[in-house]
Chains A and B, each alone.
Chain A
Amino acid sequence: MNADIAPAQANSLWRWLIRIAPVVLMAILVKVANPLGIYSKSDQISIETFNILASGFYPSSAQDKISIVMIDDNSLTDSDISFPPPFPFYARLIESIRSFGAESILLDLMFLEDRGNPGDIERLVKAMDGFPVFLTRAETEGRNCDVRGPGNLAKLRRAAVAEPHPLIEDQASHIKLLPKICDTVVPAASLAVYAYHCAADPGCSKGPNDPFVNPQAFEDEVLALQWGRYSPKEALDLHPSSGRLARDCPQPGLADHLTTFVRTLLRPAGNDDVPVPVGCSYHPVIRAEWLYAPGRFPELNVSAMKSALAGRIVVIGADFAGMKDVGPSPVFGKVQGAWIHAMAIDNLLVRGADFLRPWPEGKLGAVGFDGAFEMVLVALSTLLANWIWKRMPSERLDTAVLCTIGFATGGAAIGLAISFLLVFAWRLEPVNWIGIACAGAILADPAYSAFKKIWHARAMASQS
């Protein structure tokens, strides 16, 4: 009896494999050949849409540990100084931030040439002295490493506690945490600042999340940025101008989740509106002129500014008309580089060594682990859609088209749920859930089989 069942099971498995083979081949073709950019585009939209939806669920536990100080052309105008800002300008900013009791400062700036009066640089060196100031280094990878250029000024290099790298890759979405740059291992700006913070925190120091003690957890790793959406409460109080902007920013709650869900999924093609109004930010943004010339701003709330700086990591960034320092973000649109570094530090403070990572690459040839996982999902969604379609009472064309739309929508919902599971349970980037759903719905072929039937019926009718 068992001998009869075994060949029957093998036969059934063989038929199933033959049936699934075209689906897998098609999925490989779409993934590798990327015709008309279908795969990469749907991949990009999948991750972007996921990031917007997930930003409402991002933990806020580190939001009150980071602040941003922004310098721009208005800062120079309001401070009566011209471009480029002289060293005493930066010195006064650092002195002011120190006086408010900040924990550390990340200077997301490059000082490549001396400027101002002789001795100005000494003022800045003195302001940095004895305080953890991190200065992003003027270096990059992928170039002729034998060539030496000007670099950060030697006096400032010595005064800075460390010179981490400022590189943010893939449309400002990924950061190599401890890469080898020209035979030198250089920590990312976010990692260096986080490591210093962790070493001072008894709950983090000497544990697996401490990069000083456990550097292996961060070596050759890439952090995939996650964004939060809700503005900090300090933004309302700092200054009437920031308060006006902050009042229009989204507030946590079910209503905001629903609004964002509808707006994100139903945005028409070409509509690049970001889900939050201009002026919102995840960390408090303090304008440099408020610190440099506070007397000129009588409406400034000094106690709110103190609470936005005391005990915090402060990221100082600049964005001038001739020297743009901006990158895309899924939630706030185009943002300054300092915001992106601040968000990366936040990710590390919230997750420690358990930060969000991209899928491992290259282990399965050109496809990779994420591609293999997506193919399995395509195959499963195709089989499920095909199974449902076979049990439909009618195979009319309108039913078939409705079914295809239904399968794509249902598949996308399942793919989105799987992406949330991947991110929150395994800290892996979302999969291409839109591509999976569409491929599954099309390959399940209700529309094709309905067309085939209609043509067959017409052919029979014309013959008779």
Chain B
Amino acid sequence: MIRLSFATLAVIWSLSAAATAQEAVRVEKILPGPGGKLIAFNEKGVSQGDIPADSLPPVPFTASAYNPKTKFVRVTAGGKEVWLSPMQAQTSVKAQVLNPCETVDRVKGTPYSSRGASDCK
């Protein structure tokens, strides 16, 4: 019985760990300013100056932390941990993309978008 309980706990733990792993935020794109510079922030969102964009790993890579309130991500740049703002680090947890026919609906709905497709039935 005790073995079964431990086994059940282990399964639950592994499942929750897997779920947590899926929720890890990936950095999909970096938007550097002119000259390939990024603005680094501390955990309080205060600017800490420039860092070169090439000090980051190649995209996509997993961020070491994500602040859901500020939407900043923590990354390692040149061996140092810094926070990047959503203006410069594009993250993707669940990206949703439209096909050409779905874009037609966007013209009809409240959000104005501008595209349509004549061959959608």
Contacts and interface: CB of A to CB of B under 8 A. Distances in A.
Genuine A/B complex: yes
Interface of A: 108, 110, 112, 132, 137-152, 157, 161-163, 166-172, 178, 180-187, 191-192, 195-196, 199-200, 205-206, 211-213, 215-216, 218-219, 321-327, 336-337
A25 to B, nearest CB: 31
Contacts of B94: 145-146, 182-184
A325 B115 contact: yes
B47 to A, nearest CB: 5
Contact of A199 (B33, B71, B103, B113): B33
Interface of B: 29, 31-34, 37-39, 45, 47, 71, 85-88, 90-100, 102-103, 106-107, 109-119
A141 B109 CA distance: 12
Contacts of A147: 96
Contact of A162 (B29, B45, B112, B116): B29
CB-CB nearest 8 A-B residue pairs? A199-B33, A322-B118, A185-B86, A337-B114, A151-B97, A149-B97, A183-B93, A325-B114
A184 B98 CA distance: 15
Majority SS at the chain B contact face: loop
A461 B117 CA distance: 73
Nearest to A210: B39
A185 B71 contact: yes
B90 A169 contact: no
A163 B91 CA distance: 11
24 contacts: A110-B103, A142-B109, A145-B95, A145-B96, A149-B98, A149-B102, A150-B97, A157-B29, A162-B29, A162-B31, A166-B114, A167-B113, A168-B111, A168-B112, A195-B31, A196-B34, A199-B33, A200-B34, A211-B87, A212-B33, A213-B39, A215-B86, A324-B116, A326-B114
B36 to A, nearest CB: 11
A169 B32 CA distance: 28
Contact of B114 (A195, A321, A324): A324
B112 A327 contact: yes
A323 B95 contact: no
Contacts of B114: 108, 166, 168, 324-327, 336-337
A195 B88 CA distance: 10
A171 B90 contact: no
